[in-house]
């Protein structure tokens, strides 16, 4: 015989009360539950973001601030960091600027120390710093390979290591890979190589650091409108090659089933998920906010 469930059935009345509490008194639509909001909150946590002088790193600093985190922002460009700090302040936060060359292990370790000195804890570390150069394989020089590798790969490696040593109460490390690490990328072989390595480093680190309650994940953005990408159509005098910009962005948008390109905000929302308790059982994964260009 089927069980008849009524308002007096144990648990049902409580559920109805919770649903009523979630309903807005103004328009009758459900409001966000406090439990849901709490899962995505970064209140009371300290986050380090490298590559924060612009692009995805800057937006991550703003988004993490909006979610309640205290942020330390790092990059080699102090002027860009100061602009980011102003944006963080406008979002209601206060960013600590730590000029850092991520290819220098000692500077990265000092960045981790700064988090402890400033806020007494380190909960989130986002390795966003990265560089790009466009060239064919046959034209690449040892300097090209070294420059891109030391920032994109070694910089991420030292960041993972510093965070892993410093996160004594667990935490979340977020690396930035790329769709270029998942698919052939003409004129981007060095960049693509380093980003593929970042994806696998993410998996290795997740295995090593999981016992310390440290989650390690990555995002692999597709084409995103950032200053680094904009360098593709920026002339030597700083002006914009509009024809190149239109051609390149249109081609990239056409590669996505959504027929559009990403913004830094699109990437920062994925990073917020990985930084928050909403992803507490997610580790060793590469999340791909790429508009469907690569499906895995």
Over the stretch 216-260, which tens digit does the pLDDT of each residue have?
Answer: 999 988 777 777 776 666 788 888 777 877 777 777 777 777 777
**Pairing status of strand 46-50 against strand 214-219:** unpaired
CA-based angle 150:152:154, to the nearest 5? 45
Instruction: Give, to the nearest 10 degrees, the angle between helix 155-166 and helix 189-209.
Output: 20
Which of 134, 157, 191, 273 is an active site residue?
A: 191
Report the pLDDT value the prediction gives residue 26, as an integer from 0 to 100: 55
Report the pLDDT value the prediction gives residue 34, as an integer from 0 to 100: 86
> In sequence order, what DSSP letters do the residues of 96-159 get, joined into one string?
EEEE--TT-HHHHHHHHHHHHHHHS---EEEE-------B-GGG--HHHHHHHHIIIIIHHHHH
Report the pLDDT value the prediction gives residue 10, as an integer from 0 to 100: 45
**Pairing status of strand 46-50 against strand 95-99:** unpaired
Report the pLDDT value the prediction gives residue 16, as an integer from 0 to 100: 43
* Sheet (strand 70-75) strand order: 95-99, 70-75, 46-50, 124-127, 171-176, 214-219, 286-287
Report the pLDDT value the prediction gives residue 23, as an integer from 0 to 100: 43
Report the pLDDT value the prediction gives residue 19, as an integer from 0 to 100: 44
> Which segments in the chain show pLDDT lower than 70?
1-27, 230-233, 262
124 DSSP β-pair partners: 47, 172
Annotation says 273 is catalytic: no
Domains with residue ranges and CATH for the chain: 41-224+263-287 (3.40.50.720), 226-261 (no CATH)
pTM of the model: 0.84
Q: Which residue has the tokens 């849901």?
A: 36
Q: Compute the chain's Rg from CA coordinates.
A: 21
């Amino acid at each position: 015989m089927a069980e008849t469930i009524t308002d007096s059935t144990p648990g049902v009345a409580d559920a109805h009360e919770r649903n009523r509490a979630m309903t807005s008194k103004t328009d009758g639509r459900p409001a966000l539950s406090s439990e849901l909001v709490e899962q995505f909150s970064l209140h009371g946590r300290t986050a380090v973001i490298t590559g924060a002088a612009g692009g995805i790193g800057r937006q991550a600093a703003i988004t993490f601030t909006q979610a309640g985190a205290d942020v330390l922002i790092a990059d080699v460009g102090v002027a860009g960091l100061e602009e980011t700090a102003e944006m963080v302040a406008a979002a209601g936060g206060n960013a600590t600027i730590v000029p850092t060359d991520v290819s220098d292990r000692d500077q990265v370790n000092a960045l981790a120390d700064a988090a402890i000195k400033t806020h007494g804890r380190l909960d989130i570390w986002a390795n966003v710093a990265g560089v790009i150069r466009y060239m064919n394989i046959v034209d690449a020089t040892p300097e090209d390979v070294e420059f891109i590798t030391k920032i994109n790969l070694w910089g991420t490696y030292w960041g993972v290591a510093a965070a892993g040593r410093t996160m004594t109460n667990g935490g979340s490390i977020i690396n930035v890979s790329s769709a270029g690490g998942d698919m052939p990328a003409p004129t981007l072989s060095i960049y693509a190589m380093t980003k593929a390595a970042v994806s696998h480093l993410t998996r290795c680190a997740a295995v090593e650091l999981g016992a310390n309650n440290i989650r390690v994940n990555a995002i692999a953005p597709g084409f995103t409108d950032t200053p680094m990408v904009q360098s593709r159509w920026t002339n030597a005098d700083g002006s914009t090659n509009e024809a190149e910009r239109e051609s390149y962005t249109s081609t990239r948008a056409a590669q996505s089933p959504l027929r559009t390109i990403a913004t830094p905000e699109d990437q920062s929302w994925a990073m917020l998920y990985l930084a928050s308790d909403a992803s507490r059982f997610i580790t060793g994964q590469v999340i791909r906010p790429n508009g469907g260009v690569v499906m895995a």
